[in-house]
Amino acid sequence: MFDLDYHNRPTLIGQCDACSRPCKLFALPGRYARHCLECSADIATLFVLATEIDANRRSNLNVDDLEREWAEVDQRLITRHDANRHRDKGGRDKR
Ligand SMILES: [Zn+2]
């Protein structure tokens, strides 16, 4: 299903491939999967952090802070996914 965004551009409405929430969907460049705005931002952040961690490791620099930030963002994605999964189960149980 298509809708129009703030600038009257067509946007895809559907279910986020990460958290399953119904929403406007965004695709990162070069990626097939489509995600909600929050998951898109977190996944893009994970890509950047992974690149930085690799570069720092190659330069023998400390990556503790970057790995800690990576784990926080990753946990946020998992928490959002689990919250929506439980919400869906709750909705089905009431029927
Ligand atoms: Zn999402």
What sign has the CA pseudo-torsion 87, 92, 94, 95? positive
State the Cα–Cα distance between residues 66 and 24, nearest whole angstrom: 30
Q: What is the DSSP letter of 35?
A: B
Query: Average model confidence (pLDDT) for the chain?
Result: 85
pLDDT band, residue 93 (cuts 50/70/90): very low
* Phi/psi-derived region of residue 67, left when phi > 0, alpha when psi is between -120 and 50, beta in every other case: alpha
Which among 50, 47, 38 has a CA at the least distance from the CA of 79?
38
pLDDT digits (tens, 9 = 90+) for 5-55: 555 555 689 999 999 999 999 888 888 889 999 999 999 999 999 999 999
Helix axes 37-58, 64-93, angle to 10 degrees: 150
Encode pLDDT of 46-85 as tens digits: 999 999 999 999 999 999 999 999 999 999 999 999 998 7
37 Cα–ligand 1 center, Å: 7
CA of 85 to the centre of ligand 1 (A): 11
Does residue 28 sit in helix, strand or coil? coil
State pTM to two decimals. 0.77
